[in-house]
């Protein structure tokens, strides 16, 4: 049977990223009865200044010790199902945190040019990171001290497990 696959993004619009800040731009938390697999993600910026330094993007595992999706963030009310048996998503998601969540562990740091830089990644089948019950994943952006403000666009593809 095909897996139930869901897509989520910072659908309310781009997340503004000012200089010298750390901001969690997208996150997902599983419920107590199922975990999640992170199948893939995208991250991109709309900067136009070629001299800006790269932005650190962290793909993180999160226990959501504080500020889980919907707390200090905007809840994602519509999670789109892309495939598999039609099921209620069974997890929560959010974007643009105003207070950073704690207990984030970096799975993969990336360094992306804010001058229209973009990164798209799908994990190979069998290599997808999974999370424990009631935990999940987040995308965090760390901007350099000297740069112009840019907007960040992010998305994730997950499935319940």
pLDDT tens per residue across span 54-113: 999 999 999 999 999 999 999 998 899 999 888 888 899 999 999 999 889 999 999 999
Q: How far apart are the first and last CA of the chain?
A: 13
Determine contact, residues 23/104, Cβ cutoff 8 Å: no
- How many angstroms separate the Cα of 151 from the Cα of each of 45, 133, 141? 6, 32, 11
Among 13, 4, 136, 120, which residue's Cα sits nearest to residue 57? Answer: 120
Q: How many domains does the chain have?
A: 1
Structural domain boundaries enclosing 134: 5-160
Which tens digit of pLDDT belongs to each residue from 125-147?
Answer: 999 999 999 999 999 999 999 89
pLDDT, mean of residues 40-58:
95
Among 6, 30, 11, which residue's Cα sits nearest to residue 154? Answer: 11
> How many CB atoms within 10 Å of residue 145?
8
Determine contact, residues 139/8, Cβ cutoff 8 Å: no
């Amino acid at each position: 049977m095909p897996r139930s696959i869901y897509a989520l993004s910072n659908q309310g619009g781009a997340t503004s990223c000012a200089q010298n800040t750390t901001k969690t731009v997208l996150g997902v938390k599983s419920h107590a009865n199922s975990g999640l697999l992170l199948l893939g993600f995208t991250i991109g910026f709309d900067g136009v200044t070629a001299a800006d330094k790269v932005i650190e993007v962290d793909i993180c595992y999160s226990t959501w010790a504080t500020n889980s999706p919907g707390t200090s963030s905007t809840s994602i009310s519509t999670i789109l199902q892309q495939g598999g048996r039609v099921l209620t998503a069974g997890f929560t998601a959010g974007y643009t945190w105003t207070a950073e969540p704690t207990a984030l562990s970096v799975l993969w740091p990336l360094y992306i040019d804010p001058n229209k830089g973009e990164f798209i990644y799908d994990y190979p089948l069998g290599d997808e990171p999974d999370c424990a019950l009631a935990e999940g994943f987040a995308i965090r952006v760390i901007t350099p001290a000297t740069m112009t403000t840019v907007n960040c666009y992010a998305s994730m593809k997950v499935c319940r497990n």
